Amino acid sequence: MDGRPSEPDGFRDFVEARSGTLLRSGWLLTGDWASAEDLVQTALAAAWPRWGTLTRQDAPELYVRKIMVNTFLRWRQRRWTGEIATARLPELQAYGDAFAQIDARQALLGALDRLPPRQRAVVVLRYFADQTEAQTAEAMGCSVGAVKAHASKALARLRETPGLAELMTGGVAS
């Protein structure tokens, strides 16, 4: 007996298969890997004790994403994250080298930082995690109409972000 809680069936497979994508979602939400890791750990730890139920409902990833988003929103509402919004985004340079990739990431995070938390969450869930509007609404605890409204406003704001249009239409190869 090593004191370690017994691992739910299928949990390891899920973590190994999905933690990379979940971490990338967390990075888009929080802007740094440490917070992303905390977010994913928080969600997976919450899912652990009810894993059996979640798998029976065939919805473990939806649940994990829901916890991630709600935790993220709570962090943003209740704590100051220390992020200083910048009025100017980094200049987008000609791409094709490693620095360009870093610039692109900074530009992306800068643009996401300018979104209110709920709009940012919708962007990540809808357009990165490929969740449907209904799934996004379920994860965020709001209506489909609200998701549509957040998405529309987020797109409008991203559209106005200098340099982001170039990233969306051309950009840099990963």
List the interface residues with other proteins, window 88-127 (CB under 8 A): 101, 104-105, 108, 116-118, 123-124, 126-127
Task: Examine residue 7 and tell whether it contacts other proteins (CB under 8 A).
Answer: yes
Task: Examine residue 19 and tell whether it contacts other proteins (CB under 8 A).
Answer: yes
Task: Examine residue 173 and tell whether it contacts other proteins (CB under 8 A).
Answer: yes
Q: Which residues are within 8 A (CB) of 44 and not within 5 positions of it... i.e. 6 or more apart? A: 15, 19, 22, 64
With CB under 8 A as the contact rule, the residue among 58, 79, 91, 98 that binds other proteins is: 79
Distance in Å, CB of 115 to other proteins, minimum? 11
With CB under 8 A as the contact rule, the residue among 75, 89, 114, 163 that binds other proteins is: 75
- Residue 88 or 141 with smaller CB distance to other proteins: 141
Q: Which residues are within 8 A (CB) of 35 and not within 5 positions of it... i.e. 6 or more apart? A: 26, 75, 81
Q: Tokens standing for 111? A: 């643009």
Distance in Å, CB of 65 to other proteins, minimum? 12
Distance separating alpha carbons of residues 49 and 8, to the nearest angstrom = 8
Distance separating alpha carbons of residues 59 and 10, to the nearest angstrom = 13
List the interface residues with other proteins, window 120-159 (CB under 8 A): 123-124, 126-128, 130, 137, 140-143, 145-146, 149-151, 155, 158-159
Total number of residues that touch other proteins (CB under 8 A) = 76
Distance in Å, CB of 22 to other proteins, minimum? 8
Q: Which residues are within 8 A (CB) of 26 and not within 5 positions of it... i.e. 6 or more apart? A: 35, 36, 37, 39, 40, 68, 72
Residue 29 · residue 117 · CB < 8 Å: no
Task: Examine residue 12 and tell whether it contacts other proteins (CB under 8 A).
Answer: yes
